[in-house]
Copies of this chain bind each other. A is one copy, B any other.
Amino acid sequence: MARDESPSRGHRESGSVTLQDIAAHAGVSRATVSLVLRASPLVAERTRAKVQRSIKSLGYVYNRGAAALRGSRTSTLGVVVYDIANPFFGAMVAGIDAALNRVGYVSFLANSEDSPKRQQRFLERMREHRVDGILLCPAEGTPPTLVETLNAWKLPCVQVLRHIGTPPFDYAGTDFRLGVNLAIDHLVAHGHERIAFIGGHTEHSATRERWQGYREAIDRHGLGYQRLLRSTVTRRDGFEAIGLLLGESPAPTAVVCHNDLVAFGAMLGLQRQGLTPGVDCAVIGTDNVEEAALSAPALTSVATHPYAIGEEAARLALRRINHPDGAREQVVLSPQLKVRESCGACRTASRVLAPTL
Contact = CB atoms under 8 A, between A and B. Distances in A.
A97 B69 contact: no
A13 interface: no
Contacts of A271: 296, 351
A294 B74 contact: no
Contacts of A104: 125
Interface string A78-110: 010000111101110110011001001011111
Given A63-B128, A87-B85, A294 B264 contact: yes
B130 A64 contact: yes
B93 A111 contact: yes
* Interface range for A: 35 or more
A97 B68 contact: no
Given A62-B128, A68-B65, A84-B90, A106 B108 contact: yes
B110 A106 contact: yes
Interface in A113-141: 113, 118, 121-122, 125-130
Instruction: Name the residue among A122, A271, A307, A355 with the largest chain B CB count within 10 angstroms.
Output: A355
Given A90-B87, A128-B64, A355-B236, A108 B108 contact: yes
Instruction: Name the residue among A106, A127, A354 with the largest chain B CB count within 10 angstroms.
Output: A106
A69 to B, nearest CB: 5
B97 A130 contact: no
Contacts of A126: 106
Q: Is the interface of A mostly helix, strand, loop or mixed?
A: helix
Contacts of A97: 84, 109-111
Contacts of A235: 294, 355
Interface in A317-349: none
A171 interface: no
Contacts of A64: 128-130
A214 interface: no
Interface in A251-276: 264-265, 268, 271-272
A87 to B, nearest CB: 5
Contacts of A98: 111
A107 B108 contact: yes
CB-CB nearest 10 A-B residue pairs: A296-B296, A109-B109, A291-B291, A85-B90, A97-B111, A85-B91, A90-B90, A87-B87, A64-B128, A62-B128
Given A129-B64, A354-B236, A118 B90 contact: no
A122 B101 CA distance: 9
A43 interface: no
A244 to B, nearest CB: 14
A101 B118 contact: yes
A16 to B, nearest CB: 9
Nearest to A105: B125
Given A118-B101, A236-B354, A236-B355, A85 B94 contact: yes
A239 interface: yes
A201 to B, nearest CB: 19
B61 A127 contact: yes
A341 to B, nearest CB: 12
Given A235-B355, A294-B235, A129 B109 contact: no
